[in-house]
Amino acid sequence: MTRPGGRAADPFTGVSAPVGQLPSPSAARPAGGAVAVLAGAAAWGSTGTAAHFAPAAASSVSIGSARIVLGGLVLLAIALRTAQGRRAAGGLIAGSRTVRGSLVLAATAVSGYQLCFFTAVRMTGVAIGTVVAIGSAPVFTGVLSRLTGGPRLDRRWILATAAAVAGCAVLVTGGRSAGASPGGVMLALAAGLCYAVYAVAAARLISAGNREATVMGLLFGGGAVLLAPVLATSSPGWLLTSRGLAVTVYLGIVTTVLAYLLYGRGLRTVPAPVAVTLGLAEPVIAAMLGLVVLGERLTPTALMGLVLVGLALAALAVGGRRDSAQASAPLAPPG
């Protein structure tokens, strides 16, 4: 769909950009964008391990809610700390009905991800729960991005994503003796879908020229509002303990504020399907922490699945650097 003057309308966010400027997943992109995404993913990779050290009285729902209530409010405060930021946030909220709907949908997905992910990790372990959630997200993201008017997915992305999905399947199949739970796997898949929803929404809003701090602040601030009642009804007394407070601060500041600001910075130049596939660094880090720090055990077959995911990530990252080196100039973000 195009608008007069050669501008293509994005059906997901309602924003428009000059035809031909929407980057494809194989488009050249500055290395800094990919590095920012990988750094954010590495921070996410410690989420499940950190949650493991929460007091025994802390439920999965309570931990996930506390993380976003703290992290979301801090991200919102960062977004609104200047007059320019407040104007930018007000402009998004006062935008079209489609833009407001995207913000609400993405904030709901942020909340849903927390509840599904932390419960899945409790049910099926840090390594398997994280790999399934994040390993499935690229597929959901690619399909959702394409269905909402995104660029055609290239061959390298398809092959890398297929390898990652195969690795997740091998990991789950070989992980039953390591505690894999079918219910936990289903919740991890639901978390992957939620991840895809807010990744695509954030990428479209940021690539349209909106500041990443503003977009992330509104999405996660909205998630904080939605999860505050959940936290209040989840017996949050564990937050008053020193260990509970330490875990919450780490989850809220490091794995939410820092990680999502880095991820948002990367989304300015890295297309959503590629960014989410690069996010497969998270389960690799999570699995290694689960094995080394928590003493989780995986069978040789499950380890082969983990290696397959890592190889898919490496193939995509190396291919992206080659594209950047061969291109004459990076595509400008639409705006």
In a domain, 10, yes or no: no
Give the residue from 265, 251, 266 showing the smallest Cα distance to 74: 251
Structural domain of 306? 37-319
In a domain, 146, yes or no: yes
The answer for residues whose C-beta is within 8 angstroms of residue 196's C-beta and 6 or more apart is: 137, 140, 141, 144, 276
Average pLDDT over residues 26-42: 72
User: 0.75 cut: is pTM over it?
Assistant: no
In a domain, 17, yes or no: no
Count of domains observed in the chain = 1
The answer for residues whose C-beta is within 8 angstroms of residue 140's C-beta and 6 or more apart is: 192, 193, 195, 196, 197
pLDDT of 137 over the 60 cut: yes
Spatial distance between the Cα atoms of 221 and 77, rounded to a whole number of angstroms = 9
In a domain, 258, yes or no: yes
C-beta separation of 200 from 263 below 8 A: no
Name which of 64-68, 85-89, 103-107, 206-210 the model is least confident about: 206-210
The answer for residues whose C-beta is within 8 angstroms of residue 161's C-beta and 6 or more apart is: 138, 139, 142, 273, 277, 312
Q: How far is the CA of 223 from the CAs of 26, 70, 230, in angstroms?
A: 31, 10, 11
pLDDT of 24 over the 70 cut: no
In a domain, 8, yes or no: no
Reported as type and span, the H/E element at residue 9 is strand 7-9
Average pLDDT over residues 3-27: 40
In a domain, 31, yes or no: no
In a domain, 333, yes or no: no
pLDDT of 207 over the 60 cut: yes
pLDDT of 219 over the 90 cut: yes
In a domain, 332, yes or no: no
Average pLDDT over residues 71-76: 94
Strands of 2-3's sheet in order across: 2-3, 7-9, 16-18
